[in-house]
């Protein structure tokens, strides 16, 4: 083997190594972007099902109002909690523990107001027999199930994303390009048991 052939082999090996490194780097970066977008998309679904619940509330309040006119304080509490819950939104690029906790507190306030409303409903058997009310009840129960499913999907995508950006050597790329850990949607302390929505 002559000197020129050796140089060509060395340069070929260097170029091949650089191509492999760049390809791996590009694949890791693109995977991080895709996973970040998946987390954002799943967060959008969480917000979507919470919005669906909020959209059911005006109809529910109007139905109850027809039967329980003198329960204005409870009805106003539900309306105010709904307003607060729908005004609390999070930018998917800023999914940190603090912003998720603020969102969760607003949603918990709405859940509490709905629970108080359901206690009032127990006093009105005619209301519980109302077909419109029963339909709203079924939709609300279905929405609560959807919320649980979407929160689980969100947390699973966060888990995958966080694990991926923490693995070597991807953690180096993640730090270089500003990919940071995302926060989970965790249950509030003392809420191990899901709130029941009984009409």
Domain coordinates of the chain in residue numbers? Answer: 34-177
**Fold observed for domain 34-177:** de novo design (two linked rop proteins) (1.20.1440)
* pLDDT per position as a tens digit, 18-43: 888 888 888 999 999 999 999 999 99
Per DSSP, the three-state class of 32 is helix
* pLDDT per position as a tens digit, 135-185: 888 888 899 899 999 999 999 999 999 999 999 989 998 998 899 999 888
Contact between 76 and 47 (Cβ < 8 Å) = no
Contact between 199 and 174 (Cβ < 8 Å) = no
Confidence at 196, pLDDT banded by 50, 70, 90:
low
pTM comes to: 0.78
Q: What is the mean pLDDT of the chain?
A: 86
Torsion (CA) 62, 68, 69, 72 in degrees, nearest 10:
-80
Confidence at 189, pLDDT banded by 50, 70, 90:
low
Helix-, strand-, coil-residue percentages of the chain, each rounded to 5: 80, 0, 20
Q: Which token pair is 125?
A: 């058997």
CA 70 – CA 74 distance, rounded (Å): 9
- pLDDT greater at residue 142 or residue 70: 142
pLDDT at 86 over 70: yes
pLDDT at 199: 46
């Amino acid at each position: 083997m002559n000197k020129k052939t050796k140089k060509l082999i060395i340069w070929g090996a260097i170029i091949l190594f650089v191509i492999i490194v760049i390809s791996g780097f590009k694949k890791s970066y693109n995977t991080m972007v895709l996973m970040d977008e998946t987390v954002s998309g799943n967060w959008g679904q969480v917000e979507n099902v919470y919005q669906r619940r909020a959209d059911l509330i005006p109809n529910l309040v109007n139905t109850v109002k027809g039967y329980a006119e003198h329960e204005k304080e409870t009805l106003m509490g539900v309306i105010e909690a709904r307003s607060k819950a729908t005004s609390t939104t999070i930018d998917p690029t800023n999914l940190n523990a603090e912003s998720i906790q603020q969102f969760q507190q607003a949603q918990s306030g709405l859940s509490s107001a709905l629970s108080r409303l359901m206690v009032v409903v127990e006093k009105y058997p005619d209301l519980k027999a109302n077909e419109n009310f029963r339909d709203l009840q079924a939709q609300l129960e279905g929405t609560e199930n959807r919320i649980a499913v979407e929160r689980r999907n969100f947390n699973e995508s966060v888990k995958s994303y966080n694990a991926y950006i923490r693995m070597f050597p991807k953690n180096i790329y993640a730090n270089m390009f500003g990919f940071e850990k995302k926060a989970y949607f965790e249950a509030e302390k003392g809420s191990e048991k899901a709130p029941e929505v009984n009409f």
